Amino acid sequence: MDNNFTPTISVHEMSIQELFSQISDATVVYNDPPWTELSLVLPTPAQSVSAWNMDLEYLEKTASSMHVSSTVVGVGGGTALDTAKFLAWKHGATLIQVPTITSVDAGFTDAIGVRVNGNVQYVGKIMPEMVVLDFPLIRSAPKHLNRAGVGDILSCHTGLFDWKLARAANREDRWNDSLYALGNSLLNELEAAIGDIGAVTESGVRFVADAYRRIGAACAIAGHSRFEEGSEHFLVYALEHLTGDHYVHGEVVAMGVAAMASVQENDVDRIRNIISLSGVRANPHDIGISQQQFFDTLRSLAEYTSREKLDYSIVNTHDITESEISTAWNTVTSLPRVNI
């Protein structure tokens, strides 16, 4: 595998107005905000669909009940981008993604994330023909939604640790030195760019988008995401299943990284420093996660990962003790509080 993981995704820096001036027939899948405001200055699309429900049964019904244009454009955050993927995949349409925030890497990855019985599952794969980056549009969003972009990059820290554990336990046959190096490189670059990310400068947004592009390309080439998805994501999936709530993805993943780095005894200070400098909300008190919910999630995490057949991780090496859970809670609640 090429150590550079040459991105297969075409990224265009242009305004959304310029994009729509080039498209004559499109189904738009959107989040609102910002769609209501955008629709006032854009040509009327052939069809527009509000994205709000990622349940597979709902998405199947939606896909079967509508005629979809030859081009599907996702405009918004994770729900819009994944719903656009699903509709384009089901109807064999061309996919264009226009992320309006950088809280999640969904616009740059081929896997389609849905929910089945409250659990995250991935169904089908489709790569966008292009991703459009409208920097003024992205930067006009609340800052915390763009700072959240650190989550799906920071997750390499715990993901790589878990992947290495799996290899040592002979529970992983997809090991790749170049992918491991990519994860480490992304973490180092994240630290170097952290000031711009925290300030939500154009350079900061560009770095996050480019990191997502490289992650998406690497996952597509490798056929998995082990280098950037491990026990920190599994904690998030289990938490959302337990509570029935959905959080800003990058924020809750950043919390998950801090929590599982604590359990892994894996350079927690580095994670605390990156989170602090980025300004990302990762303290559970800011995200809306109670101590009881946190404890219950970690207590049930081994059972959850086994039931959902998730990859081997620190969760499989031992029973997470009450002391470890308490230490993890102290770690995440010591993270800076962030007002938005």
| Per-position DSSP letters for 232-260, written without gaps between them | HHHHHHHHHHHH-----HHHHHHHHHHHH
Average pLDDT over residues 195-205: 98
Q: Which residue segment(s) compose the domain that 198 sits in?
A: 143-333
Residue 3 included in any domain: no
**Tens digit of pLDDT for each residue in 28-73?**
999 999 999 999 999 999 999 999 999 999 999 999 999 999 999 9
Among candidate residues 330, 340, 211, 200, the one with its CA nearest the CA of residue 281: 340
Copy the structure tokens of residue 286: 């800011």
Same domain, 322 and 206: yes
Same domain, 28 and 71: yes
| Confidence at residue 24, expressed as pLDDT on a 0 to 100 scale | 85
**Tens digit of pLDDT for each residue in 325-337?**
999 999 999 999 9
Total tally of structural domains belonging to the chain: 2
**Tens digit of pLDDT for each residue in 285-305?**
999 999 999 999 999 999 999
Same domain, 124 and 169: no
* For the chain, percent of residues with pLDDT exceeding 70: 98
| Confidence at residue 17, expressed as pLDDT on a 0 to 100 scale | 97
* pLDDT tier at 340, thresholds 50, 70, 90: confident
| Confidence at residue 16, expressed as pLDDT on a 0 to 100 scale | 97
Same domain, 179 and 292: yes
As a whole number of angstroms, the distance between CA 324 and CA 263 comes to 6
Residue 169 included in any domain: yes
Residue 4 included in any domain: no
- What CATH number did the domain enclosing 234 receive? 1.20.1090.10
Angle between helices 156-168 and 231-243 (to 10 degrees): 110
Per-residue pLDDT at 10 exceeds 60:
yes
What average pLDDT is seen over the chain? Answer: 96
**Tens digit of pLDDT for each residue in 92-110?**
999 999 999 999 999 999 9
Where does the chain show beta strands of DSSP type E?
11-13, 27-30, 47-50, 71-76, 94-99, 111-116, 119-125, 130-133
Inter-residue contact 282 to 255 (CB < 8 Å): yes
| Confidence at residue 44, expressed as pLDDT on a 0 to 100 scale | 92
Same domain, 123 and 265: no
